[in-house]
Every structure is written in C-alpha cells, then in structure tokens.
Amino acid sequence: MIPHVFVKPHEDVRILHGHPWVYDNEISHTSKDFNPAAEETQGMDVAVFSAKNQLLGTGFYNPKSHIRVRLFTRKEEQCTKELIESRIAQALGWRSQYLPHDTQSYRLVFGESDNLPGLIVDVFQRAWISMQILSAGMERNKQTVIDALVAACKPQGIIERSDAPVRALEGLPMYSGVVYGSVPETITIEENGLQFAVSLYEGQKTGWFLDQKANRRLVASYAQGRTVLDVFCNAGGFALNCLKAGAASVVAVDSSDYAIAAVKENAQLNGLEKGLETICANAFDVLRSLPKESYEYIILDPPAFAKNRASVRQALRGYKEINLRAMRALKRGGLLASFSCSYWIKRDDFLYMLNGAAADAGVTVKVIHELRQDIDHPVRLGYDESFYLKGFLMEIQRE
C-alpha cells in the first residue's frame, strides 16, 4: 500500500492545474501507517489527496525538503522499473519528433517536464550520458534509472554529476563519478556543424549548455560581416557559430580561465582562430570600458543573476547594467542578443528592464526574435519553473 498524504483545503487548485509539487506547509495530515518526519521516508512514494479525498497523484516524498512531494504521475501507482522505462521512452519520442534529425547531443530528460522529477539526463554524441539527480526519490531509484538508460540508449559510458548545490536543499550529499562503462576525459561534440571539446568531468552543470543550441544557430545567422562581442562566452558556443557564419571578427569574454582556454581550443579544432580575440575578465568591467558605438553585434548570455525570489530586484539591476552598456556600445543598426536563464526573472520583467536600459542609453529598440530554451528542455504549462531561459534578439536604432 502506498502511504497517503492529504493537502489542506484549496491547496489542490495549483496541483490540479498541473503543478507537480506539494510544499511542506500545504500538508494537513498523512495516513496512520506513515511517520512524516521519519528519516526513512526520504524518497518514498506517497499518494497525494485533496482535503475532499480526491486523488491528485503519486510522488516522491522528502521530509528534508521544502518541496515535500514531487509528483511523477496523476494516478495512484508506484515508481516501478516499468514506469521509469516508459517515461524515458516518452522522453526519447519527444526529442526524436521535434529536434532536427541530425542532432547528436541533446537533453533527453528534463526533470518534472518529462514526468521524472529531479532527473536531468544529457546525451552527448549519442555515446555518452551525463546525468544529474536532484530529488530523493530519484536517488532511491538511481540504479533503475541507469539500467533503463543503458537499455534505451546503449551508451558507452554514463557519468553522474550530482554536484549541484541545490542537492543540499534536498538533504542529499554531493556526488560525481562514472556510474556505467567509461567516459573519456574529453569528448568532442558536434553542434551546428562545429566541433567542441567538452569535459563531462569538469564542465559547468552537466558539461555543455545544450539549451542554447538552436539560439546559437539563429543568432549566428545574422552575424555575417559584423564585428561581434560574445559576453559570458563560456566555451565559445555563440562566438564560434558567429565566426563560422562569416562574422568580421569576434571578441569572446568570460571571467573563467577554464572557459577561455576552452574557447581557444575549440577555435583551433574548427580552424577558426583567425578573427577571434579572447578576454578573460569580469564582463561588467569590459562592458563599462567599451567605447560608444564600437560593435555591430553583442551577445549577452550571463549566468542566472537571480537564484531566488529575494534576489530579483538586485538581479534586475545587474541585467539592466549590462544591457545598457551593450546598447551604448552598439552602432546604429547593431544587433543585441540578450538572455536571462533565471526562472525568477519573468519574461515581462525582463522586457521591462530592457525598455529601461534602452531609455537610459537613448536608443530605440526593435525586437526581431523572441527566444527561449531549446525544445529538448520542454516548457510544461502549469509548471512555471520549467520556463527559465528567455531572450530577445533586437536591433538598436539611433536617431
């Protein structure tokens, strides 16, 4: 029997509208067979009911997390091997249906959006897998997940990168290591016809930012003949796509030595060193020191400035600062691709911030494209947290 958890009156509304989480303060009581504070409940399956005894679904329980239950189904059913296998098959189906067919590296599982709460799986060159576990329930089912991935993808190796700080909020220890087969120190991945050397051991997050791959292609498609500044370049995703697309020159900026070394290596790998300059420095300083109207294309892809609700105002000031500087540094007719990967910065607030930056910079801005995370990071309606990456590609107009 699956233990039952009951939410307080009205707390079912958000869940019935598709949200997959139950917070600690929303629970009124549990069935008698279940001690909600016991250590051993961490990661157990529990069925969730409304105050009127209506079934809301089954999820992973975690007494240590503010997110007390993460639903993986709207039925009353246990998280079995079969369920995990069918979720992974569904996730594969989505990617093969909607991603370009020659995509070699993609996100196969995007947590709650794929009904596998707290599981992130990235596939590289259809050969290696980097996975991240961010919920106690997935931690319990780890071996089943690994077996299911091996069966579905037949990878050469799987590395687990469960070293994200959010693990602490779930009461889970940090872990990182190869959990199946073998994974070379460096692998070469192919994206938009370019080669990138990626370390699944050292790279940030799971190793490579797959969420920007379609945007890199689109942004680069306007780069021909332009002088480009790629700020927060990491391993050079945007920079190299722009060079390949015929940019007149690209300056790539990142504060991490590791990232700048990767940009150089990747430029070499693709024979694109000519026209590339790298700067290892704080982006705020670089942007502040730019002469007026000195570039024809600027890309701003910063890390999440807001990590929680409390830091939103401060973060918006940071976003405004970099966008304002970039707008000043752009020539008439110049292009600005500006992103925010913070869930806490809502699309409309981001747009409002851009408008403020434009007013202060004394420019008129027209939007060419609105951008978001790639299709393999599905946005799920009712689960706002899944829509995190927003961007605008804009033209800067001067009188």
259 binds ligand SAH (CB under 6 A): yes
Taking CB under 6 A as the rule, does residue 301 contact ligand SAH?
yes
Closer to ligand SAH by Cβ: residue 238 or 344: 238
Q: Does 211 bind ligand SAH (CB under 6 A)?
A: no
Q: What are phi and psi of 26, to 5 degrees?
A: -95, -5
- C-beta of 137 vs 236, nearer to ligand SAH: 236
Token reading at 5: 């958890």
Rounded CA separation 15/59 (Å): 12
Based on the shown chain and the rule CB under 6 A, indicate whether residue 391 belongs to the binding site for ligand SAH: no
Q: Are strands 194-198 and 249-254 parallel, antiparallel or unpaired?
A: unpaired
* Binding mask of the shown chain, residues 262 to 291, with x at each position contacting ligand SAH by CB under 6 A: --------------------xxx-------
Q: Is 238 in the site for ligand SAH (CB under 6 A)?
A: yes
Is 233 catalytic? The answer is no
Binding status of residue 311 toward ligand SAH by CB under 6 A? no
User: Shortest gap between Cβ of 303 and ligand SAH (angstroms)?
Assistant: 4
214 counts as binding ligand SAH under rule CB under 6 A: no
Q: Considering the complex, what minimum distance in angstroms separates the CB of residue 257 from ligand SAH? A: 9
Nearer to ligand SAH, 47 or 259 (CB): 259
Contacts with 268 (C-beta within 8 Å, 6 or more apart), sequence order: none
Taking the complex as a whole, the smallest distance from the CB of residue 340 to ligand SAH amounts, in Å, to 11
121: tokens are 């799986």
Nearest residue to the partner ligand SAH, using Cβ: 237
Contact 137, 71 (CB under 8 A): no
**Alpha carbon 196 to chain centroid, angstroms:** 19
Residue 234 binds ligand SAH, judged by CB under 6 A = yes
- 195 binds ligand SAH, rule: CB under 6 A: no
Residue 381 to residue 379: CA distance in whole angstroms: 6
CB of 373 to ligand SAH, least distance (A): 12
Separation of alpha carbons 324 and 17, rounded Å: 38
Query: Does residue 374 touch ligand SAH according to CB under 6 A?
Result: no
Q: Please report, as ranges, the residues that interact with ligand SAH according to CB under 6 A.
A: 209, 212, 232-235, 237-238, 254-256, 259, 282-284, 301-303
